[in-house]
Structure 1
């Protein structure tokens, strides 16, 4: 049985930097989308909320119209009673009956007066509600137009990048599976905790990429030797030498061009 080839530190460093380049490319794609998905979701929620408000306003408008109908019916009933009582007054036998019917007529007249007052108030409510409905419809239309525009932007970006992003995510998983688990865990932890998701960085002008802290010359020599995995004492990032970084960047750019 052939002995399994042992992976060197240099090979691990190259694989880790390749993984970093893939994940950074995924980050770039997602940054292009930026806040668009959230904006679209917020606009969808806003439009849904405005439509719900419109439904409630329409229902309340119907309720007020029903109230007006009820009051008009009450007025017709009161008028019918007034007519009835007036006819009865013509056939009364004494003043007590006449006065009793007069009170009934007076009561129905007050009912008519009150109903007409309520109808007037209801009509004022209707005008107010119509104004709010018109304003809400205008707002809803404006937000729907904005939503359509933002959805178009998002769909265009997705159409351009979705295929590449899926291919890159698959590649990222493939690279993670080819690297020993403890290194992937360390990489993921560092990537989560540092700015821009950069867990593996090359030395640039004597410092770790993105850092202003100079790395001692002896440590730089050790990094260039590629005999052990060295991390930046300030940021915790895994460090690679510039030559290795350039070689892997060139290799990965060719890979990205094929996706």
Structure 2
């Protein structure tokens, strides 16, 4: 059985820096996309909400029209009864019967007045709801136009980057497999803690990449020797020498071009 090949510190550093370059590229792609997916989702919710509101207002109008029809029927019934009572008054035998019928006629006339009042109120409600429907439709049109524009933006970005992002995420997972668990955990912990997601950085002009704190010359020599994993004492980031960084950047740029 062949002996297991020992992974050198330099190989670990290269793998970590490669992983950082891949993850940073994924971050870059997602930053370009930015808040667009959430904006599209919010606009879709707005559009659906406005459509639901319009449907409810239309249902309200139908219900009110039903009530108007019912009140019109009440008026017709009352008119029929008034006509009937007027005919009966012609054949009464005494004042008591006449007055009783007169009260019934008066009651039916009041019913007609009340029904007519309700119809006027219902018609006013319908006009109000129609105005709301019109203004809501206007809002809906604006939201749908905005949504179409935002979806177009998002679709264009996705069409341009989706394939590359998927391939990069797969590459990231591949590189994670070849990095020992302890180092990978440290990398992820640092990456989650720092604002720009950079857990592995190159030494630039005698300082940790993106930092103003100078690294002592002796430590710079140790970093360049690639004999052990060295972290920046201020940020906790893993440090690599500029030569290694340049070599891996070139290698990853070739890889990224192939993924597009």
Per the normalisation by structure 1, the TM-score is 0.97
The CA distance in 2 between the partners of 1:140 and 1:98, in whole Å, is: 62
Deviates more, 1:19-28 or 1:214-223: 214-223
Runs of 4 or more consecutive aligned structure 1 residues displaced over 3 Å after TM superposition = none
Alignment length (residue pairs): 259
Q: 2:139 — aligned with what?
A: 139
Identify the range of structure 1 (232-241 vs 117-126) with the bigger mean alpha-carbon deviation. 232-241
State whether structure 2 residue 101 is matched by structure 1 residue 101. Answer: yes
Q: 2:210: which partner in 1? A: 210
**1:50 has 2:50 as partner:** yes
Offset from partner CA, 1:92-146 (integer Å, 9 cap, x none):
1111111111111101101111111111111111111000000111111111111
Structure 1 segment 65-214 matched on structure 2, within 5 A: 65-214=65-214
Instruction: State the distance in 1 between where 2:114 and 2:51 align.
Output: 36
The residue aligned with 2:38 is 38
How far the C-alpha of 1:185 sits from its partner, in A, is 1.2
Residue aligned with 1:234, SS = coil
Give 5+ residue unaligned stretches, structure 1: none
Cα separation, 2, equivalents of 1:141 and 1:148: 10
TM-score, normalized by length of structure 2? 0.97
1:241-256 equivalent positions in 2, closer than 5 A: 241-256=241-256
Alpha-carbon RMSD across the aligned residues, in angstroms, is 1.0
- Counterpart-to-counterpart distance in 2, 1:189 and 1:73: 76
Aligned to 1:64: 64
Report SS of the residue matched to 1:239: strand
- Distance in 1, matches of 2:24 and 2:116, equals 73
- Structure-to-structure mapping, 1:9-28, within 5 angstroms: 9-28=9-28
1:202 match: secondary structure: strand
1:212 and 1:119 map into 2 onto residues whose CA distance is: 79
